[in-house]
Amino acid sequence: MKFETKKKLITLQLYLYYSVFILLALFLIGGTVACFYVYQVEEGRQAAIDGGVIAEAEIIRIHDATGGGNSGGGAIYELRYEYTDATGIKYWGVAESGINSLKYAESQIGKKVNIYIDGKGNSIVVGQGTNKYPILVVALVLMVGSIVAIAFDIWFIFFQGKKSKKKEQAKETVAAQKVVPKGATAKKKR
């Protein structure tokens, strides 16, 4: 009975360790996918800069970047722009961020801002830069971490579990050899 309880506890611990590494792998894979998506967005913004086509967009709304909460010193706002070209393609983005004054943000509504456009819906405010290389580095680091986590998961599934089963079988064999049948006498070693 005691041996069975210990056996179940060891199995439970193995599953607990395994589930932690599965969750880690899933988290790293999700982060990798998100970073590669952001990298693609930054590539489009860089394409707009490289194309050199400038258009005039209008600041149309204020966005509360703190999500309605406060960041210690009050809300932080972003100004959003929108532009539709002659072919009907819409361009939108952040004209300015990190604004602490709602009064200032409201005064900017309706003002014009110059943006680069690429003809495919990608745009960026003239004077802003992209962050595609730092994002690519993070994506690659997360991808390597994902591969390592998946490799560890595979190793754990196929090898660690079997190793434990072999140890348990060896313990069962030793335990079975120590059991003396009824009516038999145990011989002492000299």
Q: How much is the pLDDT for 149?
A: 86
In this structure, are residues 76 and 46 in contact, taking their beta carbons and an 8 Å threshold?
no
Confidence class for position 188, pLDDT limits 50, 70, 90? low
Q: Is the pLDDT of residue 169 over 90?
A: no
Q: Is the pTM of this model over 0.85?
A: no
Q: At what angle do helices 132-155 and 2-51 cross, to 10 degrees?
A: 160
Q: Is the pLDDT of residue 172 over 70?
A: no
For the chain, the first-to-last Cα distance in angstroms comes to 32
pLDDT in tens, 139-158: 999 999 999 888 888 887 77
pLDDT in tens, 15-61: 787 888 889 889 999 999 999 999 998 999 899 999 889 999 999 99
- Could you give the 3-state DSSP secondary structure of residue 160? helix
Q: How much is the pLDDT for 72?
A: 56
CA distances from 97 to 34, 54, 63, 154 (A): 22, 21, 9, 45
Dihedral-angle region of residue 183 (phi above 0 means left; psi in -120 to 50 means alpha; beta otherwise)? left
Would you say the C-alpha torsion 148, 14, 174, 176 has a positive or negative sign?
A: negative
Q: Is the pLDDT of residue 164 over 70?
A: no
Q: Higher model confidence: residue 5 or residue 124?
A: 124
Q: How much is the pLDDT for 16?
A: 81
pLDDT in tens, 55-106: 999 999 999 888 655 555 678 999 999 999 999 999 999 999 999 989 999 9
Q: Is the pLDDT of residue 2 over 70?
A: no
> Minimal CA–CA distance to 45: which of 104, 122, 97?
122
Rounded to an integer, the average pLDDT of 134-140 is 90
Question: What contacts 24+ positions apart, CB below 8 Å, involve 135-140?
Answer: 135/35, 135/38, 135/39, 135/42, 136/35, 136/39, 138/35, 139/32, 139/35, 139/36, 139/39
Written as one letter, the residue type at 174 is: V
Rounded to an integer, the average pLDDT of 181-186 is 58
